[in-house]
Amino acid sequence: MDDIILKTEDVGVIYDRSIVALENVSLNVPTGKLTAILGPSGCGKTTLLKVIAGLIEPSSGTVKIRDKETIGPGPDRALVFQDFALLPWATVLQNVAFGLRAQGVSKREREKTSLTYIKEVGLSGFEDKYPHQLSGGMRQRTGLARALTVNSEILLMDEPFSAVDEQMRRKLQEDLLELLKIENKTVIFVTHSIEEAVYLADQVVILSGRPGSIAEIVYPEIDRLGEIDLIRRQPRYVELVDEIWSSLKSYVE
Amino acid sequence: MWELAGRADISIAFPPFSKVAVAFVSMLFNGEFTAAYADSLPPLLIGLCITIIGGVIIGVSIGLVRSTEWFIMPLLIIFQTAPVSALIPMLTYIYGISDTAKVVAIVILGMPLVALNSYKGIQATSPSLLEMAKSFRASWFDTILFVILPSAQKMIFAGLRLGVSGAFIGIVLAELLITPTGIGDLITYNRFVAHYDKMFATIVSILAVAGLTLGGMSKLEDLLFPSEKNE
Ligand SMILES: Nc1ncnc2c1ncn2[C@@H]1O[C@H](COP(=O)(O)OP(=O)(O)OP(=O)(O)O)[C@@H](O)[C@H]1O
Ligand SMILES: [Mg+2]
């Protein structure tokens, strides 16, 4: 049994007293692993991620980190936003340094740390650019660098690769796997893409349609050594994608 | 256009541009403008300071503290939409013929615009940026300083420009309607004695002062917040 860093217990979310977005979500997230949250549009994926991030207070249930109940955002979690959430009037460097600034880290110190991560996500040379001067993929990387600076154990990402084309998406996915070899982190990410979930994740959580609840959990156990294109042709990979596709279809109906 | 219309003798009350220009220069050097502006500028400056500082503080506060919203917002909207100029003669009853009446007229016409725009700017802060700040556990102070105020900056400055225009209308109305001194009086007097060239020269001077003030504010904004940063 893996070491569990985070778990949700019977989490339910009701918006505006009537819209049940999540119901009885109990989920274990193993330390140092990638967990993907997959499900039809509007099933509550973002809601679940925000509950875990401490941005939405669940109507029922709890979120526990190392068996301690958490309330609100904490230094142990950092979120990468689906819409990037970059300050339009701030440079890449200033944006990346925002998290550290909020923690009261000195200017010298936070710029040094930020530059390290800007380099790590491949944005060197763009430190002084403004968000409107960047492509979608570069904005995404800026948001990722900002989340990395605060050095939290758990990285939360909401559809991190949805704003880019297929080529860039594959590049970012590979970069993420590379990055995670350096940074020892637990990752929870939301995705629409079955391929992405199977390719990246150790654990794929499938949510059923509204109200969102866990329908199934799949453990891909893909052998990720070797050529990317070969991995995508592994029988196990193709089989899993098909399996998840057919179960997702049944929840959409 | 103006020159032609004036020369075409449409009306005696509409002098040609050249006459107005001559009157403008002579009034500039014979002390008529100096005397009038010496009367008008002190209350105008005081009124502008109150309008700008008070307007921004009120607008930002109600934007930040939602509980004050239901109380102040209706007042602001009434002040902004009601024919406020009609209120100005009433100020005489309260403040008499004084500089205070001028200051109050300026503030009434200018401040609601500043406050309303500041408020709208604060309210328009992207919820996703606020969530971002919250997720990094930014303090309330940091969130205001680094997220809310920069995002409201354009709206606040737009409000300041409207407010300053309102303030100029306020001082002229006050001097035309209640306190016959300063530039307002210069207009009234020259109309009364049928010196229409001088009357128009005075109006042009007011437009020039207002234009310079607004231009200066735009320069100041560019200087403080280079536009590259807020594209
Ligand atoms: N602030 C809110 N107020 C009311 N209802 C909301 C709110 N946010 C989300 N919802 C509703 O809750 C449900 C789940 O929303 P959520 O954004 O979590 O879905 P999602 O799975 O992330 O969808 P998508 O795949 O389209 O991003 C949706 O039906 C949505 O309409
Ligand atoms: Mg979503």
Going by pLDDT thresholds of 50, 70 and 90, the confidence category of residue A51 is very high
Please check whether residues A187 and A235 belong to one and the same domain: yes
More confident residue, A52 or B10: A52
- Which residue, judged by its Cα, is nearest atom 22 of ligand 1? A46
Asked whether residue A163 carries a pLDDT value surpassing 80, the answer given is no
For residues A9-17, give the mean pLDDT: 90
- The confidence score (pLDDT) of residue B228 equals 52
- The confidence score (pLDDT) of residue A134 equals 93
Please check whether residues A66 and A159 belong to one and the same domain: yes
pLDDT per residue as tens digits for the range A128-137: 999 999 988 8
Average pLDDT taken over every residue of chain A: 88
| A82 within a domain of the structure (yes/no) | no
Residues 6+ apart with CB under 8 A from B107: B47, B50, B51, B54, B167, B170
- The confidence score (pLDDT) of residue A189 equals 94
Kindly report the number of other CB atoms within 10 A of residue A17's CB atom.
Answer: 6
Give chain A positions within 8 Å (CB) of B135. 53-55, 73, 78-79
**CATH architecture of the domain with residue range B18-230:** Orthogonal Bundle (1.10)
Question: Which atom of ligand 1 is least distant from the CA of A190?
Answer: 22
Please check whether residues A125 and A161 belong to one and the same domain: no
Q: Which of A15, A48, A50, A162 to mutate to test the pocket of ligand 1 (most atoms within 8 A of CB)?
A: A15
Identify the nearest ligand to the CA of A43 by its number. 1
| A81 within a domain of the structure (yes/no) | no
pLDDT per residue as tens digits for the range A176-200: 888 777 878 899 999 988 888 888 8
CATH number at A54 reads 3.40.50.300
Please check whether residues A61 and A168 belong to one and the same domain: yes
Contact A147, A80 (CB under 8 A): yes
- The confidence score (pLDDT) of residue B231 equals 42
Please check whether residues A111 and A142 belong to one and the same domain: yes
Please check whether residues A67 and A175 belong to one and the same domain: yes
- Which residue, judged by its Cα, is nearest atom 23 of ligand 1? A42
- A87, A150, A152: which to substitute to probe chain B, counting the most B Cβ within 10 Å? A87
More confident residue, A24 or A163: A24
| Chain A nearest CA to B47, separation (Å) | 32
Q: Do A54 and B135 touch (CB under 8 A)?
A: yes
Contact A53, B193 (CB under 8 A): no
Please check whether residues A139 and A169 belong to one and the same domain: no
Asked whether residue A126 carries a pLDDT value surpassing 80, the answer given is yes
Number of structural domains found in chain A: 2
- The confidence score (pLDDT) of residue B2 equals 61
Identify the nearest ligand to the CA of A45 by its number. 1
Domain positions in chain B are: 18-230
% of chain A at pLDDT higher than 90? 52
For residues A204-208, give the mean pLDDT: 91
Domain final residue pick, A108, A125, A151: A151
pLDDT per residue as tens digits for the range A53-77: 999 999 999 999 998 999 899 999 9
Measured CA to CA, the distance from residue B95 to residue B104 in angstroms comes to: 9
- The confidence score (pLDDT) of residue B229 equals 47
Q: Do A81 and B128 touch (CB under 8 A)?
A: yes
Q: Which domain holds residue A106?
A: 87-151
Identify the contact set of chain B against chain A, taking CB-CB distances under 8 A: 126, 128-129, 131-139, 142, 146-147, 150-151, 153, 225, 228-231
Burial code (b: 16+ CB inside 10 Å, e: under 16) for A227-242 equals eeeebeeeeebeebbe
DSSP, res B136: T
Measured CA to CA, the distance from residue A183 to residue A203 in angstroms comes to: 19
- The confidence score (pLDDT) of residue A221 equals 79
Going by pLDDT thresholds of 50, 70 and 90, the confidence category of residue A236 is confident
| A185 within a domain of the structure (yes/no) | yes
Among A35, A29, A23, smallest CA distance to A191 is for A35
- The confidence score (pLDDT) of residue B70 equals 74
Q: Do A73 and B129 touch (CB under 8 A)?
A: no
Please check whether residues A60 and A184 belong to one and the same domain: yes
Residues 6+ apart with CB under 8 A from B174: B88, B91, B101, B102, B105, B106, B184
Please check whether residues A94 and A137 belong to one and the same domain: yes
Residue in A53, A78, A130 closest to B231 by CB: A130
Domain final residue pick, A151, A170, A189: A151
Q: Judge if ipTM > 0.95.
A: no
Question: What are the pLDDT tens digits along chain B (231 aa)?
Answer: 566 555 655 566 677 788 888 888 888 888 888 888 888 889 999 999 999 999 999 999 888 887 777 777 777 777 767 676 677 777 777 777 778 888 988 898 889 889 999 999 999 999 999 999 999 999 999 999 999 999 999 999 999 999 999 899 888 888 888 778 888 888 888 888 888 888 888 889 999 999 999 999 888 888 887 755 444
Please check whether residues A160 and A63 belong to one and the same domain: yes
Please check whether residues A147 and A188 belong to one and the same domain: no
Look at the pTM and tell me if it is higher than 0.90: no
Please check whether residues A142 and A161 belong to one and the same domain: no
Domain final residue pick, A134, A151, A168: A151
